[in-house]
Structure 1
Amino acid sequence: MTTTSPVDGAGLLDEVEAFHRRFNAFPTPAASVAVALWSAHTHLLDAFESTPRLAFFSPGPGSSTTQGLAICGTLVPQPMMAADTSPAALLRAVAGLDGGRPTILFHEIDALFESKTRGAEELRGLVIAGHRRTGVSYRSEKDGGQQTVQAFPPYAAMAMASLGRLPEAVLTRSVVIRMHRPDPNEHVEAFRARIHKPEGHALRDRLAAWADSVRDRAAGAFPEMPDGVIDPSAELWEPLLAVADVAGGDWPRRAREACTALAPLAARASLSTRPHQTATNTQEEKNAA
């Protein structure tokens, strides 16, 4: 009889983080830790009660928010680019009516929140309500000659690229990654889809297999929070810390250090303050380096 050796979860997360760092100029190790954990948690979504939004903040042209989304897209299940997607199509996709639940990747999400159209309002509701598994969105649907109200579960993982102008309702549901322009001595590879997508997909498939092997442990986890991290940050980070704990190795410590460094960023950010002040690392980020 042959037996299958257990997957080295810590080693796999190391590889996922290294893959992200090949193509992205992260401000600190805390940022790359958070993005690696977020990528892994998308394969365990039904094990958790909530899913944090991942918000890449850009200081302007030359930063790697778009590339950050591209790398995430190679690692997550069923990536769906949603920059030009109707609310109806997105709701149907997230509800699984047109296949399995997607992972939503939103370019230039600032434009969505600045728009006054009805469609934009519906999409904003999806972004906000869909971070909890208990969230529900309602739409009026035609049923023969009548209109009926139908409930759509909007729960789905989401990563966003932003210039930093996000409403508080979104920021408090987001792990904020303030990207920066690569330093002259910082080597970052250009992402070439036809070359690098297969590498990302190989990691994605291994993440999916590992997730299946630890799903029960992740679902029953109640990870210990770092000192001073309370709701809403605690709710955001619980899935990411659970992933780190079931992976083991050095990841439980690194995850909590990242949580301590990054959790205050979303709490302090706002629509009207420091919309483009993303090129300078905060003291919390520097402490995690």
Structure 2
Amino acid sequence: MTAETPGAVLLDKLHTALTRYVVLPTPAAADAVVLWIAASHAQPAWAHAPRLVIRGPEKRCGKSRLLDVVEATCHDPFITVNSSPAAVYRSISDDPPTMLVDEADTIFGPKAEGNEDLRGLLNAGHQRNRPAKRYDAATNTVESIPTFAMAALAGIGAMPDTIEDRAVVIRMRRRAPGEQAAPYRHRRDRPALRQLAEHLARWLRADLHILENAEPTMPVEDRAADTWEPLIAVADHAGGTWPTRARTAVLALTAEANDDGDATPGVRLLADCRAIFTDVTALPTAQLLARLNADPEAPWRAHGPSGLTAHKLGAMLREYRITSANIRFPDGIQVKGYHRDAFADAWSRYCPAVDTTEDRTDDKPARLSVVTPLPTEYAGGAA
């Protein structure tokens, strides 16, 4: 058996330390956190600064403990709790610190106020060359302030799409009976973890030029590839089992994110329309609305006393260049409705994974025909 490389040994040690103090939801999540921490030590090499979102449905799910271990092992940790936006901006340089935010719902939640600058920094800082512009009255000049920095955010519930779309998302949960983690004590345990961080930094900083020019084969595309590329580059540089584990983590966590049910209302509407249209060529607006509002688990009933209306439906679909038309149906009646072909381009762009040939189960609406009158059970929007 070939001996492990020094980099792989360091990642293994970091994995052992991490899983000693924190119970992660899956092995893929543990590997992803290890690689994110390691990638923080090579930030000057990256074109994108992936966020690490640590979220849970309730308190006591291990979010803060995981953030403690991240703080102890990442590059130059910078805690933003009670830090002014000006202090945060001025702390970012060409070799930025790693920003850590606990209770991130205080920044992004519905009661968050006065954090616009920090939210803007976290949104913009995912990509290089997205500086903030500030006017300096003393010198009568416009100043460019760098925003690029990796950031870990912990909080209850989901973060905004603008954050999670650029993040490695770890969904924490409370420990089950029998799941054990060693207690973490800052004074006792942090020094050894900081020493491990120094070893990671020496390994990766020596090869920044290699990492900067790395073009790893990615199992995902577009923004997901941008987010995960630094982690895959670190794994490939380490060798051993890590290249395979890294790509397994990418596929597992991105699939989890895609199945999370947090699609935008527009994409959810497109997907629901696709399920309703199946093989029909056109539908009256009234039938389409009735089917949408009939689903008790869909969000459309909450749009008003009668659910989603024709006006709201039209407004949402126009964003995707889908408009209604006067359609004459086989029974001779001409009414407003939608052609299936009008959705084809949007479906291919925003929800291409839907398989319309799949047999339907009994709890899904039956296929409609353009000559079939609206069924009585759907007339009032009943389930």
Q: 2-side partners of 1:253 and 1:116: how far apart?
A: 40
Residues 15-48 of structure 1 show CA distances to partners (whole Å, capped at 9, x for unaligned) of 0111111111101100010000000001111111
Separation of aligned partners in 2, 1:234 and 1:26: 23
> Which AA in structure 1 matches 2:243?
P
Counterpart secondary structure, 1:143:
coil
Q: What is the DSSP-based 3-state SS (H/G/I as helix, E as strand, rest coil) of the residue aligned with 2:127?
A: coil
Q: Pick from 96, 106, 111: which aligns with 1:111?
A: 106
Question: Which amino acid counterpart does residue 52 of structure 1 have in structure 2?
Answer: P
Provide the aligned length of Structure 1 versus Structure 2: 260
Could you tell me how far apart the structure 2 residues matched to 1:266 and 1:124 are?
22
Aligned CA distance change for structure 1 residues 267 and 72 (closer, same or farther; 3 Å): same
Of the candidates 123, 132, 137, which is equivalent to residue 127 of structure 2?
A: 132
Q: Does 1:205 align with 2:202?
A: no
Q: In the alignment, does 2:262 pair up with 1:239?
A: no
Corresponding residue for residue 258 of structure 1: 249
Letter in 2 for 1:209: R
Higher Rg: 2
Once residues 209 and 74 of structure 1 are traced to their aligned partners in structure 2, the CA distance between those partners, rounded to angstroms, is 16
Q: Which residue of 2 is the match for residue 141 of structure 1?
A: 136
CA–CA separation in structure 2 for the residues paired with 1:25 and 1:179: 9
How many Å separate the matches in 2 of 1:125 and 1:28? Answer: 31
Structure 2 CA distance for aligned equivalents of residues 187 and 128 of structure 1 = 36
Task: Indicate if the aligned counterparts of 1:7 and 1:210 stay in contact, CA closer than 8 A.
Answer: no
- Aligned residues with identical type, % of pairs: 37
Give the Cα–Cα distance (whole angstroms) in 2 for the partners of residues 231 and 271 of structure 1.
17
Report the residue type matching 2:108 in the other structure. F
Partners of 2:122 and 2:147 in 1: CA distance: 8
1:178: which partner in 2? 171
8 Å CA contact 2:85–2:117 kept in 1: the answer is yes
How big is each residue's C-alpha offset from its partner over 1:261-281, in whole Å with a ceiling of 9 and x where there is no partner?
0013344553989xxxxxxxx
Aligned to 1:90: 88
Equivalent residues in 2 for 1:2-17 (5 A)?
8-17=6-15
Give the alignment's Cα RMSD to 1 decimal.
Answer: 1.9
1: distance between equivalents of 2:190 and 2:108?
30
- Evaluate the alpha carbon distance shift between residue 49 and residue 168 of structure 1 in structure 2; reply closer, same or farther with a 3 A threshold: same
CA deviation profile, 1:159-215 (whole Å, cap 9, x unmatched): 010212311111101110011111221110111001100111110110011012322
**Aligned match of 1:77:** 75
Structure 1 residue 220, shift from structure 2 partner: 1.2
Q: Which moved more, 1:182-191 or 1:66-75?
A: 182-191
Q: Structure 1 CA distance, aligned partners of 2:76 and 2:31?
A: 22
TM-score, with length taken from structure 2: 0.65
Give the CA deviation at 1:116: 5.5
Q: Which runs of 5+ in 1 are unaligned?
A: 1-5, 274-289
Tell me if 1:230 matches 2:228.
no
Equivalents in 1 of 2:242, 2:223: separation in Å? 22
The letter of the residue matching 2:244 is R
Q: Does 1:63 align with 2:41?
A: no
Change (3 A) 1:256 1:172: same
Equivalent residues of 2:62, 2:173 under 8 A apart = yes
User: Bigger relative contact order, structure 1 or 2, given CA contacts below 8 A and separation 6+?
Assistant: 1
Aligned partner of 2:215: which letter?
A: F
Instruction: Pick closer, same or farther for the CA change 1:267–1:235 going to 2, 3 Å.
Output: farther
* Separation of aligned partners in 2, 1:172 and 1:180: 21
Q: Distance in 2 between matches of 1:121 and 1:201?
A: 33
SS of alignment partner, residue 33 of structure 1? helix
- Is the Cα–Cα contact under 8 Å of residues 174 and 266 in structure 1 kept in the other structure? no
Partner-residue secondary structure (3-state), 1:208? helix
Checking the alignment, whether the CA contact within 8 Å between 2:59 and 2:156 is kept in structure 1 is: no
Alignment partner of 1:196 out of 189, 193, 203: 189
Q: Which letter maps to 1:200? A: L
Number of the residue aligned with 1:217: 210
Given the superposition, is the C-alpha separation of residues 264 and 138 from structure 1 closer, same or farther in structure 2, using an over 3 Å criterion? farther
SS, match of residue 156 in structure 1: coil
- Does the alignment pair 1:36 with 2:34? yes
C-alpha offsets along residues 57-97 of structure 1, whole Å, 9 cap, x if unaligned?
Answer: 1121221110111101111122111121111110000137x
Which amino acid in 2 is paired with 1:120?
N
